[in-house]
Amino acid sequence: MSGPIADRADAPAVLELPSPHLGLTWRPLTMDDVPQLHRLIGALEVADGVPRRSSEAEVAMWLRMPGHALPTDSLAGVDHTGQLRAYGLVEVRPGDETCLRAFLDGGVHPEWRGGGFGRALVAWMEGRGRQMLAASGRTGPARLAAYVDESARARRQLYAAAGFSPIRWYTDMRRDLAQPLPEAPLPEGARVETWSAELDDLVRLAHNEAFRDHWGSQPHSAETWQTWWQGPHSVHEWSLVALDDAGTVVGYLMSERVGAELQGFDSGVTALLGVLRPWRQRGLASALLVEAMRRYREGGMPYATLDVDADNPSGALGFYQRLGYERTHGSVLYSVEI
What is the arithmetic mean of pLDDT over 204-217? 90
Report angle CA 226, 229, 230 to the nearest 5 degrees: 65
Neighbours of 277 (CB within 10 A): 11
How far apart, in whole angstroms, are the C-alpha atoms of residue 159 and residue 334? 7
The overall average pLDDT reported for the chain is 95
pLDDT at 213: 82
Residue 314's pLDDT is 65
Distances in Å between the Cα of 90 and the Cα atoms of 156, 176, 268 are 17, 37, 30
- Residue 315's pLDDT band (cuts 50, 70, 90): confident
How is residue 214 annotated by DSSP?
A: S
Q: Contact 18/124 with Cβ under 8 angstroms?
A: yes
Question: What are the beta bridge partners of residue 166?
Answer: 334
Mean pLDDT of all residues in 196-211: 95
Domains of the chain and any CATH numbers: 5-163 (3.40.630.30), 172-329 (3.40.630.30)
Q: What's the length of the chain? A: 338
The full DSSP string for 151-208 is T-HHHHHHHHHTT-EEEEEEEEEEEETTSPPPP-PPPTTEEEEE--HHHHHHHHHHHH
Give pLDDT, residue 334: 98
Is residue 338 a contact partner of residue 134, using CB atoms and an 8 Å limit?
no
Q: Which stretch of DSSP H or E encloses residue 231?
A: none
Q: DSSP character for 139?
A: B
**60/36 Cα distance (integer angstroms):** 11
- Cα–Cα dist 81/235, whole Å: 40
Report CA torsion sign: 214, 219, 224, 229: positive
Round to whole Å and give the CA distance between 248 and 274: 14
Rounded-to-integer distance, Cα 219 and Cα 209, Å: 8
Q: List beta partners, residue 307.
A: 172
Res. 313 pLDDT band, cuts 50 70 90: low
- pLDDT above 80 (res 128): yes
Query: Per residue in 31-40, pLDDT tens?
Result: 999 999 999 9
**CA gap 86, 57 in Å, rounded:** 19
Q: Assess whether pLDDT exceeds 70 at residue 1.
A: no
| Cα 290 from Cα 296, distance rounded (Å) | 10
pLDDT over threshold 80, residue 158: yes
Instruction: Write the pLDDT tens digit of every residue in 137-147.
Output: 999 999 999 99
